[in-house]
Amino acid sequence: MKKYLKIGISLLAVVVVVLSQTNITAFAVTSENNANNHSSEVSSDNNSEENIGEEEETVESVAEEAPLMAKSVTPFSAGFASFDGVDLNGVTNLSYTQGQIINIDKTVNINVNFGDSTSNGKKVTVQLAKELVFQTVPGLKKVGNTFVYDPSSLPSNLQGFVSNITYTPNPTSSSSWNGYGNAYSGSITYEFINSISATPLSFTTRIDRLYLTNNAGYNIDNAVIVTSEKNGAVIESETVETLTYASALTTDLWRGGNKEVYVDQTTGLRTVIGTLVSAPDGLSGGLVEYYEVTYAYAKELAYVSIEGTTIPNTSVDDTTLWSDASWNYVKIRFNNAKITGNLYLNFDVADTTNHVVGKVYTIKPSGNQTIKPYDNPTFERNKLASFSFTVAESFKNSIMLINWSQTISLQNTNSGNAVLGQIPLTNRQADPVTDQVLKLSFDDVYMGVNRIDLYTTTNTAASGAYNINGTTTDGRSFTIPDINTWAGRTGITLAQSDITPNPGEYIKTIVWTEKSITNNFSSYAGYLGYGGTARFYGVILDSAADGVTATSTLQSVSLESGEDIHATTKKGTLTHQYVDTATALGFSGAGTTLSMLSGETKTSTNTIQWNDTQGTFVSTMKGFNFYLREAEAFEFDISSFSATDTNGVVYSQANNNIVVSTLTDNTGKKVYKITIADYAFDFRKSPNFKVNVTTKKSAGNFTIQAKDIYFAEPMNAKIVLKNFASGLTTNDIYDISDLRDETQQMMSFGGSITNLAQADFSTATSANLDGGPWTTYDYVSGKTILDLNPDGTAKYKLSVANNSGQNVSGYKAIIPIPKAGQNAGSDFQQQAFEWDVLLNNPIDVSSTNYAYTVRYSTTYTNNFDDASWKTWNEITDKTTIKAVRIVTTDVIPDGGQDEITFTIDMDPATADVQAGGVNIYNALIYRSVLGAEGAAPSEPVAIRLKTGVIKGQVFNDTDRNGLLNGTETGRNGVVVTAYEAGTTTVLETKTTQTLNGVPGSYAFLGLDKNQNVDIVFTNPTNDDSIRFSAVTSGGSTPTASATHDKATTSNLTPSAVGFDSIDAGFITPITVTFNGNTGVSSIASTKKYPGEAVSPAPTATKVGHTFNGWFTASTGGSKVTFPYTVGAA
C-alpha cells in the first residue's frame, strides 16, 4: 500500500489489539535444529609460524529457531508485494537466525495492478539495503559486477510488456564504508509499455554477511522497498521496515601459542597472534568500522610493530603505548577492518639482564577485544589468547620429534588408499635446520603402507629430499630418486623405486634426508584429514581388530653429527588404535545454484568435499546411496543421472551399473533412491553426481535449498556422518534412509534451485510471399523485408501456442490494414505506412481450432471495445478497411495451438505510384497469463511494394529474322541477369523455364521501378554453335558482345505498366555447300552466320576440264563473286 496508508495501518493495529485482542496473526516457518558442536583449528598453510594443533577453537552450537515474522494488524487488502512469502502490506518486521538466511535465497514477489491500459510512465522499482543483494532478476544478466538488460531472459509472459530495465548500484564510496561495496546491491527499475494493465514480477535476494558483524542481532532498516508508479505518481509502495539477523556474528583473534627464541637473539622476536575470523565458524568475511585489542607484554620487551598478510583498505593504529609497574601495553586498532591471513607482533628485548635459557616472556590480552560494526553499537568479547617467547639455547641443527596417537576406523575399505597416520615433526626454532636424516618404521602387523605424502618441509627453493631408501615387508631393499619439487613429495610409492613390488608387499621402513626444514614449521595437524600435512596411506590388514594398538616410530639425526640413523635413540612414537566404528566424518557438499524459468531443464552438479576431520577418520569408503527428492514444482530425469567416483568410474542407467528405486518420504514427496554398491570414495578427491532438473510448466516462483532435495550416505551404517559446513546440517528428517533415523545426519549439499514463473503462451504474427517461409522483421538488423510484386501473393498469419502447463482463457488481436501516408499509432508502427493494402475478402476462420469473431474498422484504433468495429457486410467500401479485430473467448488448453491466415493485396490503382514503399507494422495482442495482463505488440512484419517488372522469352530463331514466329519454340535453361544500369551490381538472376505453359520464359517481378536496369542474356554454349539474333524491331532486343558470349539490353525502366517484354533469339549458322559438279572441290562446305564472308574462293578440279568459277546453280545459275557475304537464309 502507499506509505501514507502504512501510518494508518500502524495506528489502527493498536486500536484493534486494545479493543478486541483478536485478529492477531502469527507467522512461523519450521526449520530443523542446526545445533552443531564443532571443534576446529584454522591455519592458512604450513608456512604458519605457529605450531598447528596446539590450539583449538570451540564454537558453541546454537539451536535454530523458527524465524519471527512480526506484522502489524491491518484492515487493508494484501497482495502487492511479499518477501519470503510474507505479505508486506502494513508494517513488516522479519527476523531470521543464521541457519534460516545465510546462503539462502529469499524471494520478492510483486503483483502490480496499473489499473488501465493507456497511461504512460508505468514502472516498478525494487530497492535493497546495502546488506542485501539481488541474486536473480528476470531480464537482467550478470556481467562483471553489474547487471545488463537482456530481454531474451524475460519469462515469456513478460516479453513484449517490458520496455527497459535499469540497475542502479548502491553507493560504494561513501565515507562510512571507506571504499567497500558489494556488487548487485541497489535498485532495479522495470519500465513497461502503456498497454499493460497488470503484471507479476519475482526476484531472488540474499543477505550479504560482509555487513552483519554484531553481538546480539543486526537490524537492517528498510531492507526492501517495492514501489509501483504511472504518470509520474506512486501507485503503491510497501517495505520490509526491519529485517533482523538474530544470530551473533563476531570477529575474533583466537590463536595463541609459544615461540622459541635463541639466547643470543634480542631483536626481531616475532609471534603470530592469529587471524581475524568469524564466530560462528565458516562465515568469515565480515567488515567492521574498527576492531581494537590491547596486549600487555613483559617489561623486558619493547614493542616494534604489527604486520599482516592481507589487510586491504584497512588502516592500523598501534601508536598508543603505556606501562605500569608490572607490564607494558600496546593498543592496536584496525580501522575499516576486513583482514585475512595471519597477523604478527614484532618485539625487541630491551632489557637483556634475565635473557637466559628458560626465560619466558608473556604477551597477553588486557581486557576484552572491542568491536565496532558499521551502523551498529560497539560491543566487547572475551575471546583472546595469550602468547609467549621461551628463551632456548642457541640454534641447534636438529628437529623436534613428537609422540602422536590417533584412532583408525576399521570401516575404511581396503582400497589401498586409507589414511593410516601422520608424520609428526616440528622445527620451532627461528632458523631452518638442514641436512636432517629421518627414518620412518611402520607397524607391519596391522597395516600395510603403500603410499607416503612426504610434506616434511615447506615448498621453498632450498627444500628437497635425497638419499631416499628403505625396506619392504618382503625383506627387500629399495631406493627412490631424489625429490626436488613439491609435486614430487605427493604419493611416493614402491612403483617409483628400483624394485617391482610383489602382491601384498608394503613399505616397512623409509629413510631420507631433508635439505632444509623451514623455521617455525610443523608437518602435522590436529585433524587427520587436514590438507598439506605429511601422511601415509595403505591397507588395514585382516589382523587388525577392534581395540588393538599398533606402533610406528620416527627417528632423526643431523647429517653433520655422523650419528647412525638406525641406531639413534632420538625418536617419536606413533600409536595407532583400531576401532570398529567411525565416530565422525567431516564433509561438506558443494552444489549448483540453478536459476530457472518454468518449463526449463538444467543440469545440477553436486560434489562431495571433505573438510577438516575430527574423531575417527574414515578416508575411504565403498558403496553409496544417493537420494533425489522431488516436489510438485519440479522433477528429475532419472535417466540423466550419473555419478563419478574417485576412481573416475561413471555410474548411470546407460552404463547399467546403478539400481534405481522410488519411495515416498514422510511428507508425501517422491524420492528416487540410487544405489551404487561399487561407488568408491577417497577423501583426497571430490567425486560428484549430476542430474537434469526440469521445473514444471505450471510452476510458480519458488526457491528451494539443495540440502532439502539432494542427499547421500555410505551404505555402511557404522559410518556416522557429521557435516561441519554452516547451514548444511541435515538429519534424516524426511525418513528416506533405512540406515539412519531423524537424529542422524545425512550428506547434504549447498546450492539451491530458484524458479521464476513463466507461462509459455505465445501469440505471434508473420508474413510470407508466394508460399515461402513465414518471416518477421527485426528493427535492429533491418531484416527481413518481403518484396511483393504484381504477380506475387502475400499472406499474413496470426498464430497461438499454449505450452504453459495450464488453460488460458482466450486472447484478442488487432491487426492494421495499412494505407499510404497514414499512421496507426505507436502501438502498431514506428513510421508511417507507404503503400495501400487491400483486404479483398473476409478473413476465413471456419477451419480454425477455436471459435473466433472477426470485426473490421475503417479507422485505426487500439481499443478492443471501440464502437467502430463492424462486420464485413456492414462496410460498403472495402478499400477503406484499416484494421481487423480477431477475438476468441474459448479456453485454450495446455498444448493447444491455432493459426489464422489471410491474403493482403496491393491496390492496382496506386501500386505503380507507391512502388518502393515499405509497410512495417505489428499487431496488438491482448492476453492474460500468470497475472500479466495487457496488450503487447507482436513481432513486426515488413513488406515492400516492388512493381518494377521485366519479362520476356528466349526463343530459337530458326528463320534468323529476329522475330518470334508461330512455329518457333522457346528455349529453357538460359541464364538472364538483371544489373543496376551501367554497373556490375547484380540485382537478380533468372533461368528461362516454362511459365504458364510458355517455354523459354523469364520474369523479374520485384524490381525497383526507380532503378533502371541492364538485362544480360548469357550464351549457354561456348563452341559458337549458336549466336544471338540481330536486334530487330518488335523482336530480339539485346545487343550481342563481340565474342557472342552474352547480349545486353541496357538502361531499362521496370514498370508495372506494359510489363516491358525483352525477348532474345538464338540462331544457328548457315551451311554453304560447294558442289564440284562431277569435279572435286577443295572445300565441301563451310558454316557462316549471316553477314559473314566466304573468302578466298575454294578451288575445284576435274581431269580434262577447266574451272570457270562458282555459280548459284549447276546450269543457268549466276556466277558467285568472292568474298561472298552470307545472307540470312
Q: What is the mean pLDDT of residues 551-580?
A: 93
The pLDDT of residue 936: 87
Which of 900, 930, 960 is at the close of a domain?
930
Q: Are 186 and 318 found together in one domain?
A: no
Three-state DSSP at 19 gives helix
Q: Are 783 and 874 found together in one domain?
A: yes
The pLDDT of residue 182: 61
Terminal-residue alpha carbon distance, the chain: 99
Burial of 167 (C-beta count, 10 Å sphere; 0-12/13-18/19+): middle
CA separation for the pair 46, 523 (Å, rounded): 7
**Is pTM, for the whole model, over 0.75?**
no
Q: What is the mean pLDDT of residues 512-538?
A: 77
CA separation for the pair 538, 408 (Å, rounded): 12
CA separation for the pair 385, 405 (Å, rounded): 26
38 falls within a domain: no
Which of 354, 375, 392 is at the close of a domain?
392
Q: Are 1086 and 1037 found together in one domain?
A: no
Three-state DSSP at 912 gives helix
Residue with cell 549466336: 1027
DSSP 8-state secondary structure symbol assigned to residue 475: S
CA separation for the pair 694, 600 (Å, rounded): 6
Which of 930, 957, 986 is at the close of a domain?
930
CA separation for the pair 753, 77 (Å, rounded): 31
494 falls within a domain: yes
407 falls within a domain: yes
Total H helices, total E strands in the chain: 3, 85
CA separation for the pair 747, 730 (Å, rounded): 7
Q: Are 728 and 842 found together in one domain?
A: no
**59 pLDDT tier (thresholds 50, 70, 90):** very low
Between 119 and 804, where is the model more confident?
Answer: 119
Dump pLDDT digits (tens) for 884-919: 999 999 999 988 999 999 999 998 888 888 888 899
Q: Is 916 left (phi over 0), alpha (psi -120 to 50) or beta?
A: left
Please give the mean pLDDT across all residues of the chain. Answer: 84
The pLDDT of residue 181: 53
Q: What is the mean pLDDT of residues 98-119?
A: 87
Distances (CA, A) of 199 to 90, 191, 762, 922, 1022: 22, 12, 16, 22, 70
Find the range with the poorest average confidence among 523-537, 570-584, 674-688, 961-975: 523-537
Between 615 and 1039, where is the model more confident?
Answer: 1039
CA separation for the pair 981, 764 (Å, rounded): 40
Q: Are 491 and 531 found together in one domain?
A: yes
Is residue 495 pLDDT above 70, yes or no?
A: yes
Write b or e for each residue in 462-479: b if 16 or more Cβ atoms lie within 10 A of its Cβ, otherwise e.
Answer: ebbbeebebebbeeeebe
Is residue 175 pLDDT above 60, yes or no?
A: no
Q: Are 769 and 736 found together in one domain?
A: no
Q: Are 1082 and 1103 found together in one domain?
A: yes
Distances (CA, A) of 235 to 122, 182, 481, 796: 10, 30, 79, 40
The pLDDT of residue 13: 32
Find the range with the poorest average confidence among 329-333, 461-465, 1045-1049: 461-465
Dump pLDDT digits (tens) for 670-682: 999 999 999 998 8
57 falls within a domain: no
Q: Phi and psi of 938, rounded to 5°?
A: -85, -175
Q: What is the mean pLDDT of residues 542-570?
A: 94
Report the run of H or E that residue 866 belongs to, with start and end. Answer: none
Is residue 868 pLDDT above 50, yes or no?
A: yes
CA separation for the pair 576, 489 (Å, rounded): 23
CB atoms within 10 A of CB 633: 17
CA separation for the pair 884, 862 (Å, rounded): 11
Dump pLDDT digits (tens) for 357-410: 999 999 999 988 888 887 778 888 887 788 899 998 888 899 988 898 888 888
Three-state DSSP at 494 gives helix
187 forms beta bridges with 127, 168
Three-state DSSP at 572 gives strand
Greatest mean pLDDT among 225-229, 259-263, 459-463:
225-229
Q: What is the mean pLDDT of residues 1030-1045?
A: 91
CA separation for the pair 1047, 988 (Å, rounded): 16
Q: Are 565 and 631 found together in one domain?
A: no
Q: What is the CATH number of the domain that holds 808?
A: 2.60.40
Dump pLDDT digits (tens) for 128-171: 998 899 988 999 998 888 899 999 888 888 888 999 999 998 87
Dump pLDDT digits (tens) for 986-1015: 999 999 999 889 999 998 877 888 889 999
Q: What is the CATH number of the domain that holds 699?
A: 2.60.40.740
681 falls within a domain: yes
Domain count, the chain: 7
Greatest mean pLDDT among 420-434, 563-577, 708-722, 1096-1110:
563-577
CA separation for the pair 1123, 1129 (Å, rounded): 17
196 forms beta bridges with 934
**Could you give the residue ranges of the DSSP H alpha helices within 1088-1128?**
none
Q: Are 777 and 791 found together in one domain?
A: yes
CA separation for the pair 681, 352 (Å, rounded): 57
Burial of 42 (C-beta count, 10 Å sphere; 0-12/13-18/19+): middle
Q: Are 388 and 407 found together in one domain?
A: no
CA separation for the pair 178, 632 (Å, rounded): 47
Dump pLDDT digits (tens) for 815-835: 999 999 999 998 899 899 999
The C-alpha cell that represents 1107 in the structure block: 574451272
Q: Which domain holds residue 420?
A: 400-579
Report the run of H or E that residue 1046 belongs to, with start and end. Answer: strand 1046-1052
CA separation for the pair 839, 795 (Å, rounded): 11
46 falls within a domain: no
